[in-house]
């Protein structure tokens, strides 16, 4: 599957309906930029900028009606496989947080890094979900 800029912009707008969606011109420019890798999934896509030995996940989007069903994890697995094949050692993910969408100032965020001998992923996560997410990661890694 390969999406064009208009399809990517439309899906991104739905996935980021609360703010932060990229425009059509953003995706048009992106598709012409060197070192960009688009990882497609039937219900979404991710954009990865690779400058080995590092890479940055610029965005990852899954159709809202398909979120929470494991498709994001499958897409992230594809991103990691693509990065490994490009000899990437470190992957970065910067998360934009809009404080106006949180119901309380106590919806804190924390920066976490997961690393093994092959790859490192750094991301920002809600403090209230960290224990659950780390336990799930450790169960799957065991």
Question: CA 121: distance to chain centroid?
Answer: 10
Residues forming a β-bridge with 46: 39, 60
Q: How far is the C-alpha of 58 from the C-alpha of 74, rounded, in Å?
A: 17
| pLDDT one-digit tens code per residue, 1-17 | 678 999 999 999 999 88
pTM value is 0.68
Question: CA 4: distance to chain centroid?
Answer: 19
- Closest residue by Cα to residue 47 from 74, 64, 65, 27: 27
Phi, psi of 70 (to 5 degrees): 90, -5
Q: How far is the C-alpha of 29 from the C-alpha of 24, rounded, in Å?
A: 9
| pLDDT one-digit tens code per residue, 44-81 | 999 999 998 999 889 999 999 998 888 988 998 899 89
| pLDDT one-digit tens code per residue, 87-139 | 998 888 776 555 555 555 455 555 556 666 666 666 666 655 666 766 777 78
Contact 109, 126 (CB under 8 A): yes
């Amino acid at each position: 599957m390969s999406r064009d800029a208009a399809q990517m912009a439309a899906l991104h707008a739905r996935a980021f309906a609360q703010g932060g969606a990229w425009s059509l011109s953003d995706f048009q420019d992106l598709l012409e930029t060197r070192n960009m890798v688009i990882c497609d999934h039937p219900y979404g896509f991710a954009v990865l900028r690779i400058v080995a030995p590092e890479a940055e996940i610029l965005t990852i989007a899954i159709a809202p009606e398909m979120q929470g069903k494991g498709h994001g994890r499958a897409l992230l697995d594809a991103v990691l496989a693509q990065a490994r094949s490009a000899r990437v050692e470190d992957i970065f993910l910067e998360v934009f947080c809009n404080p106006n969408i949180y119901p309380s100032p106590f919806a804190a965020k924390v920066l976490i890094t997961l690393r093994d001998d092959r790859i490192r992923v750094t991301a920002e996560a809600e403090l209230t979900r960290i224990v659950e997410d780390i336990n799930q990661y450790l169960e799957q890694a065991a």
